[in-house]
Structure 1
């Protein structure tokens, strides 16, 4: 597996692109706000009702908008100025969080109101997401897009790690304080997006028909490299994810308490964060197809090590490695999808990619729980790790063009419109 090489050209520094820096700070502000919000909402609803089922309803009202609205949101991202779509989405989120803070501080909040506001936030995020992802290629030159993807990923991982902790600490002063802090962060993100300036080609307006809504699906089916990386990630996460089983491993296998479970949950995010920081300063320049396959195989192998480990710290190391390998594949997948997709199609393609990611995460947890009920937690995780390795081997046979791909950016511009010929 070829190692990424550092680029000596100082013009390749992301800091030399102010629009990207502004975008990065906007994303980290909204990401922190959302993670703090997630912690407070869960604690508050459980404190009000005392029913575990209601915690599942929080996930449900977030899941349905992300899947059902993905295709219309992708169509919108290709029909309108993406910055405005993102801006309007964040304004809705800001207003919903501010209303949640006001109702909480006034003592007028109840479960249904919280769920409705979470649904509003999730709906806004569903429309915002394809446009947000599709903006990135316009903020930096194509040759350093992988660095930008990695750096954007580092913002997300930092929010994942620190946001819940900060939200938990602030919750001591009451949920209203958490919501006010989250609203302040959303306000910062909204102002940064409102002031963002970048070049976008004038979108060609088309009516929303089944053909235009499903154009992203048809595009991905015809581009073998894109279909390969997206479907590889889908099956790797579907089979290899062990997150849902961590409480079982912590209590029954590693014989640790809540503090150990917290470390286990943080380990993949820390591995992903550190890898994203490294990739944001180094270029993936050679044999990216094999690097992609190698990283997913590494994810599967790390899952196997975690499955058979009876040591807490070996398990933590395995999850750390799994997170790092997953970040490599995420950067390659995200960069390749963006670079192989014409700008006029990026919103719809990113929307389909988002459906794959959301579905694999949700169904992966269900699959893990189902297998664990049959085979036990260790058996289910071993099957998942072996399944991931098997998928890597099969995908290398099914997508030879992706296996032979050398660079993320296609050298022949014609290939961007026609797809990679050698993949057919």
Structure 2
């Protein structure tokens, strides 16, 4: 009877979590799109647009370790609710300033920084809480649905934002954000964030006291040492960071190669970009109903090898000229397969990593990874921008493909994978022996 009740609560947590994330992501994406258009319209300056983008990115680099510390040290539910509340207050203030005619660009910048910071604390805390919200069997479903909510929000937001911007006033963007985040707040309020927690609450309170005595910096460093002391964790996090860095070659290279070099029309390029998102969404929906992969790190290694080859496939038309229609179809399939590959690779590994990391350290591990990956993205975008301009697309993408393969074989070598899935290699050895016996027989 007790198991049935817990299972029911876990189902409720999962459904509520997905609805909450979906609604808040749509609200955030719609608001961001509207503010970006507004900045471009009133200033006509790409610099001002870039400043707003920068203010939404910097908090991820600077505050991620603090967000991780907060997720591990303080009550997760309270942190998530406070992040929603802070977001609503920030946008409500912006709406009031707009109504009384005191609206300015500086206020948008400040609000962007505040919203980005609140979203970071929310995201890190929610991710570190997933295994407390749902049972072990549905962890992959929860991670996949979380990704689906993000991707659907990022697609619907600009669509809704475009309609609002043409037909309504700026107030509508603020109202949609406030309503969506208020609904998310009320939904999150009903969830049990300790349903599957394995932490003893008395020990947690004692540990919280120790955390505060030690200090935040010392505690963050403990999280970094935790990763460094685990060879499997450090190697797998390293490969994920390198994949993120190499993937910026696609972000920079796709528009450069398709539009500038291969002269694909902007309309067709839009469809190619959309195919990437469609691949991601369909794969997340598939993983949300599929049972968990038995050997996710083995799968990840194979998929990173495929991704490394896909890097090189972007420049195939340079060596084998194709007609525009064939080239368009080729890149649609290429973009779709990359989007699908990214989700197939990331979701099972994220689930396994969270299971490997102790509950006491999940927030700090996520925070540390966020900081590094967020710092690598602008570095990658800047570096690849220069490389594409001065070295050429063919050489850059082929070199990226080879480097990606090299890092994969080094960081995901057999000894590392044996730590993650020793049973896989035992089973593999049995199969080999059976084949030898059959051949010998």
TM-score of Structure 1 vs Structure 2, range by shorter chain? 0.7 to 0.9
Q: Establish whether residue 258 from structure 1 lines up as the match of residue 258 from structure 2.
A: no
Q: Which residue of 1 aligns with 2:379?
A: 363
Q: Which residue of 2 aligns with 1:36?
A: 30
Question: 2:365 aligned to 334, 339, 349, which one?
Answer: 349
Q: Establish whether residue 231 from structure 1 lines up as the match of residue 225 from structure 2.
A: no
Q: Which residue of 1 aligns with 2:410?
A: 394
Q: Which residue of 2 aligns with 1:285?
A: 293
Q: Which residue of 2 aligns with 1:276?
A: 284
The answer (yes or no) to whether the contact 1:70–1:126 under 8 Å persists in 2 is yes
Normalising by structure 1, report the TM-score.
Answer: 0.87
Q: Which residue of 2 aligns with 1:180?
A: 175
**1:170-221 residue CA offsets vs partner (Å, 9 max, x unmatched):** 2112332222212211111111112222314433211224321212211111
Q: Which residue of 2 aligns with 1:60?
A: 54
SS at match of 1:196: coil
- 1:72–1:198 CA distance, 2 compared to 1 (3 A): closer
The answer (yes or no) to whether the contact 1:36–1:164 under 8 Å persists in 2 is yes
The answer (yes or no) to whether the contact 1:303–1:382 under 8 Å persists in 2 is yes
The answer (yes or no) to whether the contact 2:224–2:365 under 8 Å persists in 1 is yes
Q: Which residue of 1 aligns with 2:132?
A: 138
Worse overlay, 382-391 or 99-108? 99-108
**1:205-241 residue CA offsets vs partner (Å, 9 max, x unmatched):** 1122432121221111122222222211111121133
5+ long unaligned stretches in structure 1 = 1-9, 409-424
Q: Distance in 1 between matches of 2:408 and 2:79?
A: 37
Q: Establish whether residue 112 from structure 1 lines up as the match of residue 100 from structure 2.
A: no
Worse overlay, 375-384 or 344-353? 375-384
* Superposed displacement of residue 343, structure 1: 1.1
* Superposed displacement of residue 286, structure 1: 2.9
- 1:176–1:264 CA distance, 2 compared to 1 (3 A): farther
The answer (yes or no) to whether the contact 2:10–2:135 under 8 Å persists in 1 is no
Q: Establish whether residue 249 from structure 1 lines up as the match of residue 257 from structure 2.
A: yes
Q: Establish whether residue 297 from structure 1 lines up as the match of residue 297 from structure 2.
A: no
SS at match of 2:381: helix
Question: 2:388 aligned to 372, 375, 379, which one?
Answer: 372
Q: Distance in 2 between matches of 1:105 and 1:168?
A: 22
**1:56-115 residue CA offsets vs partner (Å, 9 max, x unmatched):** 111221222111111122111111110110110111112222333343455432211110
- 1:254–1:181 CA distance, 2 compared to 1 (3 A): farther
* Runs of 4+ with >3 A deviation: 10-16, 101-108, 403-408
- 1:249–1:12 CA distance, 2 compared to 1 (3 A): farther
- 1:131–1:374 CA distance, 2 compared to 1 (3 A): same
Q: Which residue of 2 aligns with 1:307?
A: 315
Over the aligned positions, Cα root-mean-square deviation in angstroms equals: 2.5
SS at match of 1:17: helix
Q: Number of residues paired by the alignment?
A: 398
The answer (yes or no) to whether the contact 1:93–1:120 under 8 Å persists in 2 is yes
Q: Establish whether residue 192 from structure 1 lines up as the match of residue 190 from structure 2.
A: no
Q: Which residue of 2 aligns with 1:155?
A: 149
**1:233-272 residue CA offsets vs partner (Å, 9 max, x unmatched):** 1111211331133332342234234323322332222211
* Superposed displacement of residue 300, structure 1: 2.0
Worse overlay, 251-260 or 21-30? 251-260
Q: Which residue of 1 aligns with 2:430?
A: none
* Structure with the higher fraction of residues in helix conformation: 2
**1:250-301 residue CA offsets vs partner (Å, 9 max, x unmatched):** 4223423432332233222221111111111112333322101111122222
Q: Distance in 2 between matches of 1:407 and 1:166?
A: 49
